């Protein structure tokens, strides 16, 4: 986590606010916070990365899909199934479009989406 926070600090000082590296770093920090069980902080980071991604990242890019997947998994964990499903479906579509079918991210996003079937409405 320390390395990610240090990278973020350096990027904030040297890059424009909408630079893709800032969104990527925020996604990584959000993922780390999620694994630490710090869900509110993680959600804030991931939502910010999601909101800023269209400025400089193509919506269908692998990083864009990673943000949607990470936030979707967090929302699934916190039982907000409808929003999680929407984000995981977006991630799965994006991954299938830009990655080989054998890429592990494709399978992971499809399995996550399948696990939500029948688990909502919120």
Question: Which two tokens mark 109?
Answer: 């996003």
- The structural domains of the chain, with segments of one domain joined by +, span 2-115
pLDDT per residue as tens digits for the range 38-95? 999 999 999 998 888 755 566 567 888 999 999 999 999 999 999 999 999 999 999 9
How far apart CA 14 and CA 9 sit, in angstroms, is 9
pLDDT per residue as tens digits for the range 42-53? 999 999 988 887
- DSSP per-residue letters across 18-61: T-HHHHHHHHHHHHHHHHTT-HHHHHHHHHHHHHHHHHHS-TTS
Give me the architecture of the 2-115 domain, per CATH: Alpha Horseshoe (1.25)
How far apart CA 28 and CA 83 sit, in angstroms, is 21
This prediction has a pTM of: 0.88
């Amino acid at each position: 986590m320390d390395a990610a926070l240090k990278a973020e600090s350096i990027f904030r000082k040297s890059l424009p606010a909408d630079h893709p590296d800032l969104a990527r770093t925020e996604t990584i920090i959000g993922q780390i916070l999620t694994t630490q069980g710090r869900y509110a902080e993680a959600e804030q980071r991931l939502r910010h990365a999601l909101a800023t991604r269209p400025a400089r990242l193509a919506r269908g890019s692998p990083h864009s899909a990673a943000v949607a997947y990470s936030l979707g998994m967090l929302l699934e964990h916190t039982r907000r199934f409808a929003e999680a499903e929407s984000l995981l479906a977006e991630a799965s579509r994006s991954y299938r479009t830009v990655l080989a079918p054998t890429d592990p991210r494709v399978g992971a996003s499809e399995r996550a989406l399948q696990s939500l079937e029948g688990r909502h409405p919120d």
